[in-house]
Amino acid sequence: MSDESMQPVEDFTKVESIFVRHRNCLLVRAQFTPIFTGYYLHLMEHQLRYENTMDATLKDMLAVLSLHLTARPWAETIAWTVNLRAPRVNYFVTGSSTFENVTGRLFTKDIREPDRNMFYSQTSVSGQEPRTTTVDLATNDPIDWVEHFYQQSEQRPAKCFRLDDEHYALLVAQPDYDAEWFEEVDAAKAAAITEVEQTKVLETRKFHFNCGCSKERILPTLSSWKNRLDELFQGDEQITVNCPRCGAHYQVSRQDLSGD
């Protein structure tokens, strides 16, 4: 067995933030196999299964949110929710540069039909009020969603690309950027930027798929039912509680809530 084959597989995705000199653009890129692997292990552990197209969309959102977090200042927690009319589904992803994690899930049951497709972004910083923005969407493609979000909310152009081998890239315009060059960048040119342009790596951040939820963290959300256990359990000894952030399933017993 070669030394290379014995190298451990990384359990995190390393996201590079790269300044493109003379073009005044920020290139953020990464290879997302580690995050996608963590995501699928999570689905297997909790016996979750999503339809193929929805699964691919959620993976896109996890990847692009990681890129966006890296393009943003440290110490932010960002949550994106997308509400679509057809198919009627809610996508949810969230992540934190502080805790170096991303997670997400989708909802297909009891979804209110909106009058149009909507993208909601909430940015939170400790000690400050969350900042929320809402953007109308015209397509079902997450790449288009993010580019439109940048144009409307960040108020600067951005281009997002799915590249080969689970690589993704986000190109964000900075003040006095080379607009003509920016408009000409396609996926092939984005993949080759560091080979043909003068660039400088500004920083790297590491992300992994992890919600941080647990049964112990879920129990306080049920505290209001403590004096109404018969109503909550309806004759059963256990109920299943789902994490709203990642969809993980936890079995909760009457004893867990009664403290007996």
Q: Mind listing the pLDDT tens digit for each residue in 91-112?
A: 999 999 999 999 999 999 888 8
**φ, ψ for residue 154 (rounded to 5)?**
-75, -15
Count the neighbouring beta carbons within 10 Å of the beta carbon of residue 1. 5
My answer on whether omega of the bond before 87 falls inside 30° of 0, hence cis, is yes
pLDDT digits (tens, 9 = 90+) for 52-90: 999 999 999 999 999 999 999 999 999 999 999 988 999
Which is more confidently placed, 115 or 179?
179
Helix axes 52-71, 33-45, angle to 10 degrees: 130
pLDDT band at 11 (very low <50, low <70, confident <90, very high): confident
Q: Which CB contacts under 8 angstroms, 24+ apart, belong to 221-225?
A: 222/252, 222/257, 223/257, 225/257
Q: Quick one: tokens of 13?
A: 């995705």
Give the distance from CA 49 to its chain's centroid: 18
> What residue type is 182 in one-letter code?
F
CB-CB contact of 25 with 170 (8 Å): no
Domains of the chain by range and CATH? Answer: 13-209 (3.55.30.10), 215-258 (3.90.1280.10)
Nearest to 69 by CA among 98, 36, 97, 94: 97
pLDDT tens-place string over residues 200-248? 999 999 999 999 999 999 999 898 888 889 999 988 889 999 999 999 9
